[in-house]
Structure 1
Amino acid sequence: MATKPMTKTQLVAALAEEMGEDKKTASAALDAVCALITKEVSGGGAVTLPGIGKIYCRERPERMVRNPATGEQFKKDADKVVKMTIAKALKDSVNE
């Protein structure tokens, strides 16, 4: 049975406990990591989180798409999309 995803508040509390710090410090650390990842990926780079995976930006070419409601086909401009490749270590830990 699927459980609800961990909220930021729950993540900060768990991080604070793991670090042995207060929640304010853990929240600042989490915000700093998120800001660094956003800055790097939006600039076209990639970030590898050891044991978790790699977050990167990929360009999608211009392509033809179809509106499922009307069946009308139209050209969609090229754009960028954020992708994540999951590390083998995380996949293996989930499947144990």
Structure 2
Amino acid sequence: MTTTNEIADKIAADHGLTKAQSKTIVEAVLAEITAAAVTGAETSLPGFGKFKVKETPAREARNPATGAMIKVAAAKKVTFTPAKSLKDALNK
């Protein structure tokens, strides 16, 4: 698993930045993706993929422990669709 700190450390080493500077950049990018998702906007990172907000409708489901029917509220979730170049890199 890779963490934001590990990503920031790698960017700092590759580009001659301090770890604090690169961590600020990584956190800013993630904050902008989050802000776009909150407004329902799609974020496209060419060569990497797209983050989209998907709305799931309310539905009924079964509790597997008791077998009782329960109502699941409508919700929004973020989906990620990888770019072709990312898919190709994974399947070499």
TM-score by length of 1: 0.89
Equivalent in the alignment of 1:91:
87
Equivalent in the alignment of 1:39:
35
Equivalent in the alignment of 2:77:
81
Amino acid in structure 2 at the alignment position of 1:75: K
Q: Secondary structure at the match of 1:16?
A: helix
Amino acid in structure 1 at the alignment position of 2:5: T
Q: Is 1:51 equivalent to 2:15 in the alignment?
A: no
Q: Paired residues, what number?
A: 92
- Does structure 1 conserve the Cα–Cα contact (< 8 Å) formed by 2:4 and 2:26? no
Q: Secondary structure at the match of 2:17?
A: coil
Equivalent in the alignment of 2:59:
63
After TM superposition, the runs of 4+ consecutive aligned structure 1 residues lying more than 6 A away are none
Q: Secondary structure at the match of 1:69?
A: coil
Equivalent in the alignment of 1:8:
4
CA–CA distance in structure 1, aligned partners of residues 15 and 90 of structure 2: 24
CA RMSD of aligned residues (A): 1.1
